[in-house]
Amino acid sequence: MTHYELLSIAVSLVAVLIALVSLVRARRVQSELLGYEADVAALARKQLEMIQSEEAVKRDGAVSVDLVEVGSSYRFVVRNVGTTEVTRVGIAVGNEGSSGPLVPSQVKRLLPFPKLRPSQSFNLTASIHINSPRQFAVRATWKNQDGSDGLSEHHVSV
């Protein structure tokens, strides 16, 4: 072998070595990019879930119930805290079948409340006396605009 052939083989081996190093680095970069791509896909799924839950909150109503002292008496304040109108709003206090501290004649006259716009509220008188419990479990029910039922449970206290 001549001197030029040996030099040619040496240059070829250096070129092969550079190509191998470049290939290894390219694979490492590609695996990092695939990892980043998986992270971006997971973030996109999470954003989609958040958008869907925000849309559900916008689409569905939300009703809150508070017990408020007015002078020497108490009232249940039922308020639409959602962003859409709700219909057929009702509340139940305490055990099923008993009206609890609600005034039965007022319950018959007002419930189910026909329509509550966002931020609108209505009051029900609470018949609370000295022997009444200090805390009540209240269940609010309503119909959303899409016809689905809504339910929220609250604990209110004197």
Per-residue pLDDT tens digits for 6-38: 899 999 999 999 999 999 999 999 999 999 999
Statement to judge: residues 126 and 73 lie in one domain: yes
Distance CA 88, CA 114 (A): 5
Give the span between the Cα atoms of 120 and 138, in whole angstroms: 19
Average pLDDT over residues 78-85: 88
User: Residues for the chain: how many in total?
Assistant: 158
Do 35 and 74 lie in one domain? The reply is no
| 138 against 157, higher pLDDT | 138
Do 106 and 90 lie in one domain? The reply is: yes
For residues 50 and 71, state if they share a domain.
no
Instruction: State whether 121 and 84 are in the same domain.
Output: yes
User: CA 60, CA 78: separation in Å to the nearest integer?
Assistant: 17
**Does residue 47 share a domain with residue 108?**
no
> Does the pLDDT of residue 96 top 60, yes or no?
no
Of 59, 89, 106, which one is at a domain's C-terminal end? 59
Sign of dihedral through CA atoms 60, 54, 121, 133?
Answer: positive
Per-residue pLDDT, averaged over 127-144, amounts to: 83
Same domain, 126 and 86: yes
Average pLDDT over residues 99-126: 84
Helical (H) or strand (E) element with 92: strand 86-93
42 pLDDT more than 90: yes
Q: Which residues pair with 150 in a beta bridge?
A: 142
10 and 37 fall within a common domain:
yes
Same domain, 55 and 74: no
**Mean predicted lDDT score pLDDT of the chain:** 86
Task: Report the CATH number at residue 153.
Answer: 2.60.40
Q: Copy the structure tokens of residue 143.
A: 């119909």
- How far, in Å, CA of 152 to CA of 86, rounded? 13
- Structural domain ending residue among the three candidates 15, 38, 59: 59
58-76 pLDDT per residue, tens: 677 888 898 888 888 888 8
Among 39, 59, 79, residue at a domain's last position: 59
Burial of 115: CB neighbours in 10 Å, binned 0-12, 13-18, 19+: middle
Parent domain of 97: 63-157
Both tokens assigned to 89: 């709003």
Name the domain count of the chain.
2
Q: Is the dihedral of CA 102, 107, 112, 117 positive or negative?
A: negative
The answer to whether residues 48 and 90 belong to one domain is: no
pLDDT exceeds cutoff 70 at 95: no
* pLDDT (0 to 100) of residue 82: 84
Q: Are 67 and 33 found together in one domain?
A: no
**Mean per-residue pLDDT, 97-116:** 79
CA 94 vs. chain centroid, Å, equals: 27
Contact 124, 106 (CB under 8 A): yes
